[in-house]
Amino acid sequence: MRIRINARNRGFQFDAAPGESVLYAGLAAGIDLPYECATGTCGTCKAKLVEGKLRDAWPAAPGRKYVKPALGEYLMCQCVAEGDLTLEVAKFVKPLEQGAGGVVARAGRLRSPALLVHDVMAFDVELDEPCNFEAGQFMVLAAPGVEGHRAYSMVNYEREARRLRFVAKRKPGGGFSEWLFGAASEGAALRVFGPLGKATFSPGLANDLVCIAGGSGIAGMMSILARATGEGYFDSHRGWLFFGVRKLSDAFYLEELSALRARTSDRLSVTIALSDEAVPEGAVRQWPLLAFEKGFVHEVAGGALKGHYQNIRAYVAGPPPAVDAALRLLLLEGKLTADNIRYDKFS
Amino acid sequence: MTNRFVCRVADIPQNGLKEVEAEGGLKLLVASAGNEFFGYQAQCPHQDVALCEGLYDGSVLTCHMHLWQWDIRTGAPIGLAESPLQSYPLAVEGDSLVLGPEPSAIDVGELFRGLNPATLEKLATLASSESHPAGAVLYSPGDPAENIYVLDAGRVEFTIGRGEGAAPDGFMLKKGETFGWAALLEGYPQRIAGARCMEDSTLMRINGGAAIGVLEGDASAGFTVMRRLSGLIARYLALRGSG
């Protein structure tokens, strides 16, 4: 089916397969259509139907609150063409930069699912074809026969990756997450779409690095720190990671974070913020390279960053209240310019 | 035109923001900065997000959704923001804030806003306001490029090519957006795209040669306009990419 997009600055055309989301078909065709979550929540991929017939795959999507159905507006990530379509996108749209190999639908298999803590699971996806992505990007995952698809940030960073590592928090009622924590088994077939997301890090940057993560938002930060450490970024720049959880028993990757700290001496500091309990005795003894503080992650970050806001690039991820509080800190106290704050709204 | 009541001065927190509904139903964001008050469109020009939920430090307003930012004194975009805020100048009358007449499309136009008032007035004298019904063709490829247009209300679409091969080439829908730039350039006497009103639209039409004449009399304004025009052209070139 032929899809025509009339954007503010020009028109685009591409083909979509039966059942394929208009957004995914456009991205796969090399057109940088607007999106953030690509999974129905953020509302960024809003478009207006001009001509043709489409099916809305998820009429109850949370992101529908940003569209006006009476004006024929839809979320492109949830639109499936039922014939040739013309849509209008009231934004400036450009071709995707031809970087790491484009946005592609891939097949993969679930490997090594394992609980990290009671409500967080780590798992790998083994790909049929190797894949390149930027540190901080995410993939949209779906399991055949399981309703819904979910966006997860890559934890690892490597070129020509055959395996992608993810962490997932258990979400009651979340189709994919319920499946992962329940019926999923080693080797299960998965559909993988991406890589997506613009909150990326590359070592060409000349800033000190601040990462503020709540809960499973740590995933993309692990990828960013893996890339930064791998390329010696902390030989010439400072770095701060703040990882917020409720209690020490909710924290994970402390072993991996200690290893990153060991490789970067004191140029990278890693602080675990505990919102719901005092720092247990013995935490520092068990993890001598990590710091622990009581408080919300943005409060702990605010205390540590005082006087260090010059020349900072910040990455933020986590539950929306944690992200909003961190943005407030960085903008109002840190006076960071908006282009030095990177985050993708996909919670 | 008489001033419209907006709200009480006391309703606006010091160095804070509030969304209010002015007399007549227009929703506005009102910001206080020191002893001054500024009125802007209530919704972010990017997506339909209420700007009163944004972050504000008394000088820079940030939309919380995608961190678009503006200078509160001028509404000019900062950083990631791709368009200015539409301004609604406010005045204090006793204990109330009131809204004066709305600025014209030329005053807020992307090429002309903020120029010396005397120059703006000369440009306004050159401009004629025209209304066109939906479907009206403003110009076609090959037509002489004599006039530039500033959109006041409505919506104008562009196409390149002709007949069967005609392809959409974008559209304009915001007050102050400017098209038909070729009329300000040397050596581009003909239209390369077609322009058509897709809704009932109101436009300000300005003869390009006459506008250049005015700008030659105010070299500083001329420089500003040409710098903005270069920026617009560069932006379209960058967005065109390889595709």
Residue of B nearest to A96 (CA): B241
Contact check, Cβ <8 Å, B48/A66: yes
Residues of A numbered 88-117 whose beta carbons fall under 8 angstroms of chain B's beta carbons: which are they? 88, 90, 92-95, 97-98
At A333, is the secondary structure helix, strand, or coil?
A: helix
Q: Helices A218-230 & A254-264, crossing angle to 10 degrees?
A: 30
Q: Does A31 touch chain B (CB under 8 A)?
A: yes
C-alpha torsion angle, residues B238, B61, B26, A43 (rounded to 10): 60
**pLDDT number for residue B243:** 38
Written as one letter, the residue type at A305 is L
Q: To the nearest whole angstrom, how far is the Cα of B114 from the nearest Cα of chain A? A: 24
Query: β-strands A120-131, A104-117: how paired?
Result: antiparallel
Contact check, Cβ <8 Å, A11/B238: no
Nearest to B239 among A46, A92, A97 (CB): A92
**pLDDT number for residue B242:** 41
Question: Residue A96, Cα to own-chain centre: how many angstroms?
Answer: 19
With vertex at residue B201, the alpha carbon angle to CA A88 and CA B193, rounded to the nearest 5 degrees, is 60
Q: pLDDT tier at B1 (50, 70, 90 boundaries)?
A: low
Find out whether A128 and A92 touch, Cβ atoms under 8 Å: no
pLDDT digits (tens, 9 = 90+) for B140-180: 999 999 999 999 999 999 988 777 778 888 888 888 999 99
Contact check, Cβ <8 Å, B168/A95: no
Contact check, Cβ <8 Å, A345/B64: no
C-alpha A164/C-alpha A148 separation (Å) is 20
* Percent of all residues in chain A with a pLDDT value above 70, rounded to a whole number: 98
DSSP notation for A23-57: HHHHHHTTB----SSSSSSS-TTEEEEEES-EEES
**pLDDT number for residue A50:** 93
With vertex at residue A5, the alpha carbon angle to CA B240 and CA A144, rounded to the nearest 5 degrees, is 115
Contact check, Cβ <8 Å, A46/B170: no
Judged against a pLDDT cut of 70, whether residue A185 lies above it is answered with: yes
In sequence order, the 6+-apart residues with CB closer than 8 A to the CB of A145 are: none
**pLDDT number for residue A174:** 73
**pLDDT number for residue B48:** 77
CA distances to B5, B25, B90, B121, B197 from B98, in Å: 5, 13, 6, 24, 34
Helices (H), chain B: 117-126, 208-216, 219-240
Contact check, Cβ <8 Å, B62/A90: no
Most B CBs within 10 Å, among A2, A8, A50, A96, to test the B interface: A8
Region B109-118 average pLDDT: 91
Which of A11-15, A101-105, A161-165, B226-230 bottoms out in mean pLDDT, i.e. has the lowest?
Answer: A101-105
Region A56-70 average pLDDT: 89
Judged against a pLDDT cut of 60, whether residue A100 lies above it is answered with: no
pLDDT digits (tens, 9 = 90+) for B10-52: 999 999 999 999 998 899 999 999 999 999 999 998 877 899 9
More confident residue, B103 or B217: B217
From the number of C-beta atoms within 10 Å of its C-beta (0-12, 13-18, 19+), residue A121 rates as buried
The pair of structure tokens assigned to A204 is 């060409």
C-alpha A64/C-alpha A41 separation (Å) is 8
Judged against a pLDDT cut of 70, whether residue B54 lies above it is answered with: yes
Nearest to A11 among B65, B68, B167 (CB): B167
Region A219-241 average pLDDT: 96
